Structure 1
Amino acid sequence: MKSSLEEINIISLKKIYADQQALLADTKDDQFVVIRTLGEIDLYIGAQPYHVPADKLIFISPGKLIQFDNIDENSGYCVLFSATFFDRSDRDAEMLYSRLFFDYQEDIQITDAMRSVEEVNEIVNHRVRLFAEKGPVLYNAALRNHIESMLIEGLFGLPELLPLPAGDRLADRSLVNALLILVNRNVKKQSHVSYYANELHVTPRKLSICCRKVFNKTAKQIISDTILKKVINLLQHSGLSISQIAFEMGFTDESNFRRFLKKQTGKTAMELREQK
């Protein structure tokens, strides 16, 4: 099933496996993946193998190569969706830009699914189809509702974070992870390192030192990279004008927006849009 906005797909794992397709979650810069296992599955995230039991939810952040093995018709399904499709409010952003998808201590998150197989089949195979017959507005609303329910189940199932000793390398990764989550939530309104350092109760210098250890980039570069990814997504996967995108991303002047794109990519906004 595919929405008219082409920003979301619900695909059976059997279909992906039968077509011998690798699931490229980086085909769009902000494409998120949630997998609901109905049976046991084997998959690779990059070169890392995972064996996942039945009745699990798997949360995979953008930019990952996903491949499946030993899949049958009862294995389950995956939902692929863009941030543009789901992120409509502060509450949405809080769920989306969370440890479910961004956690340096875990490459992916696997949690228990709370809904029964029967209920999931009813939703995916029957209820969503009924909404689709009523048109794209109700169809997309039903899909957003289903995504939200999976995110809520996943957040409920996340293990508690253990405190890390001061000065530990993992503490640096934890701080940068917290920065990444904050930036993805707030970058449309805040682009200054000082804001994020204040929110994380560290100095801007300390924040950039940690970012260099983990990413080999400064905090400012991480913020700029996040802005650029969101801008490119809007250019290539929305109907917004260039001036509307500039305003949406917090630029007060369209000329500053154009200079930012040229500096970061060497290309104009129109060139990036036509790259789709």
Structure 2
Amino acid sequence: MHHPDANAMEVIPHNESIISLLLLRSDSEEILVDGSVDLFTIIRTLAPLDLVVGSVHYSIPANKLLFIGPGIAIKVIQATSEAGYRITFPDSFFDRSSKDAEILYSRLFFDYNTKMQVVNAIRPPEEVRHVLDVRAPLFARKSKALYDAAMKNHIESLLLEGLLGLPEVPDAYPTDQLSDRNLVNSFIVMLHRCYKKEHTVHFYANALHVTPRKLSRACQATYEQTAKEIILETLGKRAVNFIQSSTLSISQIAFELGFTDESNFRRFLKKQTGKTALSFRTP
């Protein structure tokens, strides 16, 4: 959904793991993310950049990293000739392990008092240009698998750079004052930290000092899913990731994810995905 520009680079290797690289060059307002899809967004500014994130206008200096969570509309306003780079990706592209989940579902993208984190960029602009202007197209032409691996590595380096620049804050969230969206964000962050052991709405509602009904209503209003549906979907995604990326047996994975019985885990996965556990394992 970006303004056509011969200088813009859009790389989409395949539909299931969309990763989009866009060089921000525009003479008019341009929608970067429409907010209707769950994409994570990282923007590296090379020059001052005006953005509307959600409904808030920001004027961002050069050499900043911006981290914006899924479901938030982003619009750039009259970018300069070389304003920066935008990378968007779904959690299925980056999230392959518990470490990935911990990084992805952190305060970088889910913070109760802001829709966007802004930190100082560490790497020089020349290095960023080389990675995205030179290396990314070379990898893409070589093979999708090589491109995906290179870009996952690049995204991880940006996330670590962002985490390094985040200011320290207390662990406690003032949940009694949270809006629906902020309550759900806090729930999702907690869910991705505790999903291996805690599968009930009651646990998360109690930890967030709200009733299970209030939490489910907030989830329904924000994502059109109940809290229980989000828990089950998340557990299903994590299970598939474990099966695809680890050498653990199905029984071991079931135990890792808090199931006391392998047969219960297999039934859960079949119901959640419509496929058997072994069908996700590459021969």
TM-score scaled by length of structure 1: 0.70
1:59 paired to 2:67: yes
Q: Contact between 1:35 and 1:76, CA under 8 Å: does it hold in 2?
A: yes
Secondary structure of the residue aligned to 2:41 is strand
1:12 aligns with 2:23: yes
Structure 1 residues without counterparts, runs of 5 or longer = 233-246, 260-276
Q: Which residue of 1 aligns with 2:129?
A: 121
SS of residue in 1 equivalent to 2:156: helix
Distance in 2 (CA, whole Å) between partners of 1:253 and 1:167 is 32
Q: Find the partner of 1:208 among 208, 211, 218.
A: 211
Q: Distance in 1 between matches of 2:183 and 2:234?
A: 21
Match of 1:47 in 2: 55
Counterpart for residue 267 of structure 2: 252
- TM-superposed CA distance for 1:89, in Å, is 0.5
What is the CA distance between 1:182 and its match in structure 2?
Answer: 2.2
- 1:146 aligned to 2:146? no
Aligned CA distance change for structure 1 residues 187 and 165 (closer, same or farther; 3 Å): closer
Select which of 45, 69, 72 maps to 1:37: 45
TM-score w.r.t. length of structure 2 = 0.68
Structure 2 portions without partners, runs of 5+:
1-9, 238-253, 258-264, 275-283
| Match status 1:179 vs 2:187 | yes
Q: Counterparts of 1:62 and 1:212 in 2: how far apart (Å)?
A: 19
Per the alignment, residue 279 of structure 2 pairs with none
Give the drift of 1:4.
1.7
1:3–1:139 CA contact under 8 A, matched in 2: no
Could you say what secondary structure the match of 1:51 adopts?
strand
CA contact (8 A) 1:25 1:32 kept: no
Partner residue in 2 for 1:22: 31
Aligned residue pairs: how many? 235
Deviations 1:114-173 (A, max 9, x none): 110011111111122222232111111111111111100111111111476989636x99
Preserved CA contact (<8 Å) 1:183 1:223: no
Q: Name the Cα RMSD after superposition.
A: 3.9
> Partners of 1:24 and 1:165 in 2: how far apart?
28
Q: Identity, % of aligned pairs?
A: 35
Retained in 2: the 8 A contact 1:111–1:158? yes
Query: What SS does the corresponding residue of 2:136 show, helix, strand or coil?
Result: helix
Q: 1:258 to 1:146 in 2, by over 3 A?
A: closer
CA deviation string 1:74-129 (max 9, x = no partner): 20010010111110001110110111111111121111111100111111111222
1:90 matched to 2:98: yes
Q: 1:24 to 1:192 in 2, by over 3 A?
A: same
Query: Matched residue of 2:66: which SS?
Result: strand
Q: Please state how far the C-alpha of 1:229 moved relative to its aligned partner.
A: 8.4
User: Within the alignment, does 1:2 sit opposite 2:25 as a pair?
Assistant: no
Give secondary structure in 1 for the equivalent of 2:159. Answer: helix
Aligned partner of 2:244 in structure 1 is none
Separation of aligned partners in 2, 1:203 and 1:73? 48
Partner of 1:157: 165
1:224 corresponds to: 229
Would the aligned equivalents of 1:43 and 1:49 in 2 still touch at CA under 8 Å?
Answer: yes
CA contact (8 A) 2:35 2:74 kept: no
